[in-house]
Amino acid sequence: MVKVREMTLDDLEQVMVIERENFSVPWTENGFFSFLLRQDTLFLVAEDGDQIAGYCGVVMVPDEGDITNVSVAKSRQGQGIGSQLVKELIGRAAEAGVTRLYLEVRRSNDKALRLYEQLGFVREGIRKDYYEEPVEDAVLMSRR
């Protein structure tokens, strides 16, 4: 059974494997490390036994949050883990006073776009050439 909890520094080794398998321009371990030390961020992992199945994170300012990443191990995709992570992130961000969340998603990532829409996010616009390798527009989404 998958349990969602806050990410710790000890999780970074497994998180980095998932990060590298899912992103053409992955964050570095130092990038995650620096975010985990900040007071204005919240990063969660989905844990199944001693295995990290996915993770997500948000940077928060007084009443807004920017979801930085949501990623699930390729072998665990399609099992509802991404949805479970984002629902938990929405709840915890709300408890911290966040009333509006934003995120960007690759225009071609239909699976992610559907997931976010099912969770109440709406398309706000396009960020031209937002992503690299390959260059692609991002769909900006928000949720109140």
Identified catalytic residue from 104, 132, 133, 136 = 104
Token pair belonging to 92: 């915890």
H or E, element range at 113 = helix 110-118
Q: 19, 47, 55, 116: which is the annotated catalytic residue?
A: 116
Angle at 18 between CA 70 and CA 23, to 5 degrees: 70
| CB-CB neighbours of 39 under 10 Å | 6
Q: Where are the beta strands (DSSP E) in 91-143?
A: 100-106, 122-131, 136-143
Segment holding 64, helix H or strand E: strand 64-72
Could you confirm whether 117 is annotated as catalytic? Answer: no
Which residues are known catalytic residues? Answer: 104, 116
